[in-house]
Amino acid sequence: MIFVLARGGILRHGWGMTSELSDLFHFLRFPSISTDSRHTGDVRRCAEWLVEKLSSLGLQTQLHETARHPIVVARNEHKPERKTVLIYGHYDVQPVDPLELWHSAPFEPEIRDGKIWCRGATDNKGQMLAHVLGVAKTLREQGDLPVNLIFLFEGEEEIGSPHLAPFLQAHREELRCDVIAVSDTGMVAAGVPTMGYGLRGIACAEVTLRGPKGDLHSGIYGGAVANPATAMARLVASLHDDKGTIQVTGFYDDVRPLQEWEREMWRNISGVSDADFLAVTGSPAVFGEEGYSSAERVWARPTAEVNGIGGGYQGEGSKTVLPAESFAKFSFRLVPDQDPKDILEKVRVHFETHCPAGVSIEIEIGHDGKPYHADPHSAFGKAAQRALSRAFGREPVLIREGGSIPIIQTFREILGVDTLLLGLALPDCQIHAPNENFPVANFEAGILLNQHLLNELALG
């Protein structure tokens, strides 16, 4: 199938625009950037479109207000003899900066090379809408669903879901379910069905080092007082040894070790070798904790990363100053049995202990989320694997995800059930970056996956 798409989202050659693609394109055009107050109206209009779409399927749909962006809940008629399945997704998206790196307008979807290019195409509009359209197709073909269904869609995932946990607490009884399904994760490679059973947690912090009361002439004062930028470089370097092992005291104390069946399975998964990581990232070499493959480091080992660092003159050419302050932003990815609050306290002690002389330190603790881990061999886990196999025509692989979706562990703590992570994203989908994309084939497979999933989960 060859797609040639003109601006405005109309297919001009090859197969005609399907109704499913038309729905997705409409959904994608909303610039529902949750972090930017200038797009508050766009986020709401996107939620209202969802309400209209879900209501048109005959589902009982409500838009619930929060202090910021709405939550949308829809359900079919519930029958006591059926299993209840909650499907979660988010309709908010990341900012598009830097705009100049996009090859097409970020909120005007285009299809090139069999992929849909648009902000939100993969994260998460394409994946979540595939479930909606799978339900629509089942209702058209069969007139009913094999399960009691709850759709729960929020507009704040990209800003940490600040209002979802209180919503879950307040609506716990009406959201009671047997299992949750989420497609907001990835596949290891094209055509390889992938089920995730774990997510890394996250803990964030920002450090500011201050020296003189203002920038100083580096010739007149350099060597007489400490340079905050140099001090920050030393502080950052203190986090790891030369082999990539984290040097924070007690950091690894509670890390749950890998099981041998996991290491054996992951050794045989295509698309996640060290060479594959280099091909996707463009890095010159892999690097990390000794004794683990790249996949094992990403899926099952904790990390300490610098997300941003700065201080002093940033413009063109030279400006010989000794900066008054410097900063660095850190994130720590955590694995099962590690607690974010405990890790952040250990990190705080480490920074204060290793802060170089001559500067003051300020540590600002950021957001955090707990890691998630479930048994992939449970009855529902096996049902999900059967659905993946039927949708993709081959046996799925089982992985843990390197990323974090903190609300997944919150679901377990409040609703008391596990979540099936059924990702449809490919490694090169470029979520959170310019030129985000989603294969048309994966969108179509997601629709089929939903139909098989509900049937398999109905059987328990």
Whether residue 224 sits in one domain with residue 192: no
- pLDDT for the residue numbered 13: 33
- pLDDT for the residue numbered 388: 98
Whether residue 439 sits in one domain with residue 316: no
- pLDDT for the residue numbered 376: 97
Whether residue 153 sits in one domain with residue 80: yes
The answer to whether residue 353 is domain-embedded is yes
- Give every residue of the chain whose pLDDT is below 50, as ranges: 1-15
Tokens for 28, please give them. Answer: 């994608």
Whether residue 114 sits in one domain with residue 191: yes
Give the DSSP letter string of 1-69.
---EEETTTEEEESSPPPHHHHHHHHHHTS--BTT-GGGHHHHHHHHHHHHHHHHHTT-EEEEEP-SSS
Helices marked H in 395-439: 406-415
* d(C-alpha 47, C-alpha 156), whole Å: 11
Among 340, 369, 398, the domain-final residue is 369
Helices marked H in 311-400: 340-354, 379-392
Beta bridge partners of 117: 110, 437
The answer to whether residue 20 is domain-embedded is yes
The answer to whether residue 287 is domain-embedded is no
Whether residue 106 sits in one domain with residue 69: yes
The answer to whether residue 296 is domain-embedded is no
CA nearest neighbour of 456 among 108, 178, 163: 178
Whether residue 392 sits in one domain with residue 309: no
Per residue in 268-283, pLDDT tens?
998 899 999 999 889 9
The answer to whether residue 14 is domain-embedded is yes
Residues making up the chain, counted from first to last: 460
Say if CB 155 and CB 90 are below 8 A apart: yes
Whether residue 174 sits in one domain with residue 223: no
Whether residue 116 sits in one domain with residue 41: yes
For residue 227, give its domain range.
201-255+302-369
Whether residue 333 sits in one domain with residue 440: no
* d(C-alpha 61, C-alpha 53), whole Å: 9
- pTM summary value: 0.87
Element (H, E) at 257: none
The answer to whether residue 314 is domain-embedded is yes
CATH of the domain at 401: 3.40.630.10
CA 199 and chain centroid, separation: 10
CATH of the domain at 228: 3.30.70.360
Among 335, 369, 403, the domain-final residue is 369
Q: How many domains does the chain have?
A: 2
Beta carbons within 8 Å of 154's beta carbon, 6+ residues apart = 69, 71, 72, 88, 90, 91, 92, 161, 163, 164
The answer to whether residue 268 is domain-embedded is no
Element (H, E) at 299: helix 294-300
Say if CB 426 and CB 441 are below 8 A apart: no
- pLDDT for the residue numbered 367: 87
**Secondary structure of 117-134 as H, E, C letters:** ECCCCCCCHHHHHHHHHH
- pLDDT for the residue numbered 396: 97
Say if CB 302 and CB 246 are below 8 A apart: yes
Whether residue 226 sits in one domain with residue 100: no
* d(C-alpha 286, C-alpha 294), whole Å: 7
The answer to whether residue 413 is domain-embedded is yes
* d(C-alpha 443, C-alpha 126), whole Å: 6
Say if CB 440 and CB 116 are below 8 A apart: yes
Whether residue 323 sits in one domain with residue 414: no
* d(C-alpha 451, C-alpha 181), whole Å: 13
- pLDDT for the residue numbered 460: 78
Whether residue 74 sits in one domain with residue 38: yes
Among 369, 395, 413, the domain-final residue is 369
* d(C-alpha 445, C-alpha 426), whole Å: 13
